[in-house]
A and B are shown apart, each in its own frame.
Chain A
Amino acid sequence: MARVGVFICDCGVNIASTVDVPKVVEYAMTLQKVAIAKEYKYMCSDPGQNLILDTIKEYKLDRIVVSSCSPRMHELTFRICVNKGKINPYYFEMANIREQCSWVHQKDKEAATKKAMKLTEIAVAKVLRNEPLFPLYSPVIKRALVIGGGIAGIQASLDLGDAGHETVIVERESSIGGRMSQLDKTFPTLDCSQCILSPKMVAVAQNKNIKIYTYAEVEEVQGYVGNFTVKIRKKARYVDMVKCTGCGVCTQKCPAKTSSEFNEKTGDRKAIYTPFPQAVPNVPVIDKNNCIYFLKGKCKVCEKFCPSNAIIYNQEDEVVEEKFGAIVVATGIDIYDHSNYGEYGYGKYKNVLSGLQFERMVSSSGPTDGHILRPSDQEEPKDVVFIQCVGARDPSKGQDYCARVCCMWTAKQAILLKEHLPNSRAYIFYIDIRAFGKGYEEFVRRAQVDYQVTYLRGRVSRIYEKGKKLRVLGTDTLAGGQVEIDADMVILADAMVPKYDSVKVAQTLGIPYDTYRFFTELHPKLAPVETVTSGIFLAGACSGPKDIPDTVAQAGAAAAKVCALFSKDNIEIEPTIAQVNFSLCSGCETCKLVCPFNAIEMREREIRRGVKRSIANVIESVCRGCGTCVGSCYCKAIDLRGFRDKQIMAELEAVCIE
């Protein structure tokens, strides 16, 4: 005889202020097989859980329903609690009366109360049809894959490598280093970015636990936590990684030039190149689209001059398949395309630059060797205007979010300008200054006071060329007037946007992304590096704009999560998987066909004495419990534990029958 206990949570006032909880308790008591219903202020708290445990004992309960928040929040908490009370954790159901009831029906308390009763009734109906389930175990492959070799990927790999775990970095470009390697100095300490990054890049290359695949991309991911199978495409670089010594003669001699992506198109590079001098690995690649030999069939200058015969023109892409137990996604960001702002003339006027272009200009390894020069005529600029929030906090451009780094980044660039050209004047147009990090506010004050940077509160409306100058029409809302500046150069702060192919990456990995296309964390506060797919973790700006300190911290956190996972030899996997009723299966193979994970195999089985038939069989360690097979089975021979037909039907009846 089933004895159900129902526990209804007030969640402080979150539920109780909208839903009349005592009424729900009263209603629950009238439900079939309900032995007791109780209310408590915070069911998830220790006293709340103790209340459940005590009640289980007192009323000899064997099934539990908790009506509170979303199961996505506390299902696990209560399952553990129920288990402590010696009840199988799957004899438990939750009714979501907060996220899907009290919070969305605040204006109609009566309807909310009625709905809360119904939702509780549905959960009771289901729990009565539940069955005990026992966890399955699966071995953990203790190898980690890190996608992206920027500062996030580098840090995560170092932490994993140091912990003794074999780690593979897959980087799309020909060198690791990422966005940070493009920066000149970093705020608020003004450390040289390359100087603090390069040692880490070298450390990665030297760590015996870390393997780097540069110029490579992840193509396919199969499997589940502890056991992922990943296909990696190593793009042909046309240079033998082993033979090449990195002497650079090929690059020197190459006659083909094109604009350098690393320098944000402010300078040139060759067709055979390393993106920057400190590249790791220091092996060049041939850019097929600009190489004269690949375009016209003649040239081969690099081959001629290479002292170690490392050039291989007929090299082909190679796809390797490797196994991993966990994946850290550190794919980073792109920069907002400022040409969407027609009024600022980016792309039309030479002297309107993006923040990253200015960064390359200030960098001593950049195209101007660190001299700040007006691109139109190579003169030193006198008046430089910086504009913040370009491509950020701007719903009209679909960019509602704050760029998060551009306040500090711009302050830093203004300081760098004043350090390079002390007689120049710097103007910054801002809407709000967000200097919340350690030492950030002090840094902005330094820009304002020590470096005499003029801060103007307002957005710029328009920029146009007037003679050699750029006329900037802005406003200072604090002084209450329009502002006109004839500037030599205008720098538009950069907003971070998701990588152009972030959706494709998300779909390959099976992780969700938000409306901007950034990857979504499992929980924005409490699980910031986890994703809904266990075994896949996020690091750095791929989940939203981040500065370097936050990125490094997150990378460390992701690595720690992987280490925790790798500390076990076997991990529990959800037992809510498919199951075949052998006597009903006709062997039509539909389930095998639709299964996204190839978890169904056909097997000869004796169904009656002497009668053998080929019928479906679920491979338990592979099935992930989506239920697609169940939805498509013609004979109702396959069912999903935890979401069986009879359970859903019971829920349906509870919904429909008043």
Chain B
Amino acid sequence: MNNWEPNIVGFLCNWCSYAGADLTGLSRKEYPANIKIIKLPCTGRMDPMFIIEAFKLGADGVLVSGCHPGDCHYNKGNLYWQRRFLVVSELLNNFGIDKNRFFASWVSASEGVKFSEVVKNVTEKIRELGPLTK
């Protein structure tokens, strides 16, 4: 298990967090390469199934990131996601998945530095937790 590298899925909303992640690149702020990003129009699109499915398929961690409350491009999609988030995170334990493997954050289009911090933090935490054992 020496060569194990965490595999992390990042679901980002198109308007804030994806743009924020682009800004991280524009400002050349390094972060670990373990995260792979899937773009969504809005965190409101986030289906809880995606998260459970991700762990089922073997992801070690999942991050969902959207606009700050109030800043949603579609007014309130992120607020619906916020509600679902609480349910999903409780639900995960029932599936035998440590809910500490699941992260959510708000990153705006101007928070490039914050995005790199979030990813660093997530990667570090997952590294501590070790690989997901089924």
B25 in contact with A103 (CB, 8 Å): yes
Give A533 to B50 CA distance when docked, in angstroms: 28
**A72, A107, A515, A652: the one within 8 Å of B53 (CB):** A652
Give A106 to B16 CA distance when docked, in angstroms: 24
A520 in contact with B75 (CB, 8 Å): no
**A100, A640, A649: the one within 8 Å of B25 (CB):** A100
Interface presence of A258 (CB below 8 A) = no
A656 in contact with B7 (CB, 8 Å): yes
Measured CB to CB, the nearest residue on chain A to B60 is A656
From A110-118, A141-149, A479-487, give the one contacting chain B. Answer: A110-118
Pick from A513, A533, A648 the residue with the most CB of B within 10 Å: A648
Give A458 to B133 CA distance when docked, in angstroms: 61
Give A100 to B17 CA distance when docked, in angstroms: 12
Chain B residues near A624: list those with CB within 8 A. Answer: 74
A626 in contact with B41 (CB, 8 Å): yes
Interface presence of A391 (CB below 8 A) = no
Given A112-B33, A533-B73: A627 and B80 interface contact (C-beta under 8 Å): no
C-beta contact mask, A577-589 vs B, less than 8 Å → 1, else 0? 0000000000000
Chain A residues near B7: list those with CB within 8 A. Answer: 655-656, 658
Give residues 571-609 of A contacting B (CB, 8 Å). 576, 594, 596-597
B111 in contact with A107 (CB, 8 Å): no
A520 in contact with B22 (CB, 8 Å): no
Give A506 to B72 CA distance when docked, in angstroms: 10
Measured CB to CB, the nearest residue on chain A to B115 is A104
Interface presence of B106 (CB below 8 A) = no
A119 in contact with B15 (CB, 8 Å): no
Give the size of the chain B interface in residues (CB under 8 angstroms).
51
Interface presence of B89 (CB below 8 A) = no
B30 in contact with A631 (CB, 8 Å): no
B54 in contact with A652 (CB, 8 Å): yes
A107 in contact with B74 (CB, 8 Å): no
A99 in contact with B77 (CB, 8 Å): no
A99 in contact with B25 (CB, 8 Å): yes
Chain B residues near A512: list those with CB within 8 A. Answer: 15-16, 19, 71, 73, 108-110
Given A72-B18, A653-B57, A656-B58: A628 and B71 interface contact (C-beta under 8 Å): no
Chain B residues near A640: list those with CB within 8 A. Answer: 41, 45
A594 in contact with B80 (CB, 8 Å): yes
Interface presence of B70 (CB below 8 A) = yes
Give A640 to B41 CA distance when docked, in angstroms: 10
A627 in contact with B116 (CB, 8 Å): no
Chain B residues near A398: list those with CB within 8 A. Answer: none
Interface presence of A447 (CB below 8 A) = no
**A576, A643, A652: the one within 8 Å of B57 (CB):** A652
Interface presence of A630 (CB below 8 A) = yes
Given A594-B80, A656-B7: A628 and B42 interface contact (C-beta under 8 Å): yes
A645 in contact with B47 (CB, 8 Å): yes
**B29, B45, B75: the one within 8 Å of A630 (CB):** B45
A628 in contact with B77 (CB, 8 Å): yes
Give residues 30-77 of B contacting A (CB, 8 Å). 30-33, 36-42, 44-47, 49-50, 53-54, 57-59, 70-77
Given A99-B22, A104-B24, A513-B110: A626 and B77 interface contact (C-beta under 8 Å): yes
B59 in contact with A656 (CB, 8 Å): yes
Interface presence of B84 (CB below 8 A) = yes
**B31, B54, B81: the one within 8 Å of A631 (CB):** B81
Chain A residues near B111: list those with CB within 8 A. Answer: 515
Interface presence of A122 (CB below 8 A) = yes
A100 in contact with B74 (CB, 8 Å): no
Measured CB to CB, the nearest residue on chain B to A222 is B75
Interface presence of A625 (CB below 8 A) = yes
Give residues 116-139 of A contacting B (CB, 8 Å). 118-119, 122
Chain A residues near B72: list those with CB within 8 A. Answer: 510, 596
Chain A residues near B86: list those with CB within 8 A. Answer: none
Interface presence of A202 (CB below 8 A) = no
Interface presence of A71 (CB below 8 A) = yes
B42 in contact with A104 (CB, 8 Å): no
C-beta contact mask, A56-87 vs B, less than 8 Å → 1, else 0? 00000000000000111000000000000000
Interface presence of B125 (CB below 8 A) = no
Measured CB to CB, the nearest residue on chain A to B55 is A656
Chain A residues near B73: list those with CB within 8 A. Answer: 510, 512, 532-533, 626
Give A533 to B109 CA distance when docked, in angstroms: 13
Interface presence of A651 (CB below 8 A) = yes
Give A357 to B49 CA distance when docked, in angstroms: 60
Q: How far is the CB of A209 from chain B (nearest CB, A)?
A: 31
Which are the 10 A-B pairs with shortest beta-carbon distances?
A: A627-B45, A99-B25, A628-B44, A656-B57, A626-B74, A103-B25, A111-B33, A514-B110, A626-B42, A596-B75
Interfacial residues, chain A to chain B (CB-CB below 8 A): 70-72, 96, 98-101, 103-108, 111-112, 114-115, 118-119, 122, 503, 506-507, 510, 512-515, 520, 532-533, 576, 594, 596-597, 624-628, 630-632, 640, 643, 645, 648-649, 651-653, 655-658
Q: List 7 A-B contacts (CB under 8 A).
A: A99-B24, A512-B15, A533-B73, A594-B80, A627-B44, A628-B44, A628-B77
